[in-house]
Structure 1
Amino acid sequence: MSDRNNKVPFDEDNYTHNINRNNERMLDRRGFMKTLAGAAGVFAVSTLPWGAVAAKELMGLGDKEYPHQKIADVKDVKVGDSVKFHFPSEHDSAILIRLSENKYVAYQNACTHLRCPVYWVKDEQEMICPCHHGKFDASTGAPTAGPPRRPLPGIKVEVKDDVIYAVRVKRYEA
């Protein structure tokens, strides 16, 4: 009786007899890593066309010419005042500030931290984001306080025949 209970019921000496089958493919750790690396390579290569399209689009943003859009007449904007407008599309809020007699600056009106609207505070001569107390320098758009780390995207403006026009979105410079 003891002979029958101590005997392995299969010809193999271990209990992995059901793993090795003649028609199954062996996949060890090295084979698994090769397969994983190959799959990662296929995914990386398959995203290259989309990355190239995105890079081409981003590289051309600064050079993209939009139809000149009238913001306001020069006589309607006093020194220190601001005007809200939409550029380059009706969904992109922007703000124009007249800093001096001949200096106009315009920025996209969304904080670079969490896209809250930015307001011009004439008394403090600063652009303020009320959400997290972010502040931006009006002449450069660079952050001066709060959580924002990137400057506001600028908009190039031109004055022609006493009318202020938005011309293009300035390229982001890190």
Structure 2
Amino acid sequence: MSAAQERRTLLERRTVVLAVGAAGAAAALTACGGSNGSGGAESVEQQQPGSDGAGGAGGAVLAKTADIPEGGGVVFAAQKVVVTQPTAGQFKAFSATCTHQGCAVKDVTDNVITCPCHNSTFDAATGSPTAGPATQPLPPREISVEGDSITLA
């Protein structure tokens, strides 16, 4: 069993235990106006390596190529984008909003983008769903790689 499959199995087991507590917490947040618009996924780290403070939009540097691990990626919460490097020197970008219920994806490991809300997973090279409940791919985002800089278009 691969590390990604083991992690999915563990997450599925945790989901059963946490489902009731998560539903209660979500209801409490919604009732109290605590929703952040990301489906309750506030655990996404705001990683902005290489950022020049301009938020990664309009040609500002989002990251350096060295900041994006091969076979992995980085979620940029403020820009709602995930940048991946499926193979050496190949960079891809997708919306960081899960197509299932709008939660923010959390991380990229072993070329798998993971949404923590309902354990949907996506291929880091294509954005296509690899495990449900999501059935639609993550929409691609346009990036430009020039030298060692990655910019969000």
Q: Which TM-score band applies after superposition, normalised by the shorter structure?
A: 0.5 to 0.7
1:81-123 Cα distance to aligned partner (Å, 9 max, x none): 422326xxx5x4111112222100111111111111112342x
Matched, 1:107 2:66: no
Structure 2 residue runs without a partner (length 5+)? 1-56
> Cα distance, 1:140 vs. partner?
0.7
> Cα distance, 1:145 vs. partner?
1.3
SS of equivalent to 2:137: coil
After the TM superposition, which parts of structure 1 deviate over 6 Å for at least 4 consecutive aligned residues?
Answer: none
Name the residue aligned to 2:70: 79
SS of equivalent to 2:66: helix
Matched, 1:152 2:143: no
Of structures 1 and 2, the one scoring higher in RCO (CA 8 A, sep 6+) is 2
Distance change (3 Å), C-alpha of 1:152 and 1:162: same
Name the residue aligned to 1:117: 104
Distance change (3 Å), C-alpha of 1:78 and 1:132: closer
Could you tell me which of 75, 82, 88 is aligned with 1:95? Answer: 82
Aligned length: 97
> Cα distance, 1:80 vs. partner?
2.8
SS of equivalent to 2:75: strand
CA RMSD of aligned residues (A): 1.9
Q: Larger Rg: 1 or 2?
A: 1
Structure 1 length as normaliser, TM-score? Answer: 0.49
* Contact 2:111 2:125 (8 Å CA) reproduced: no
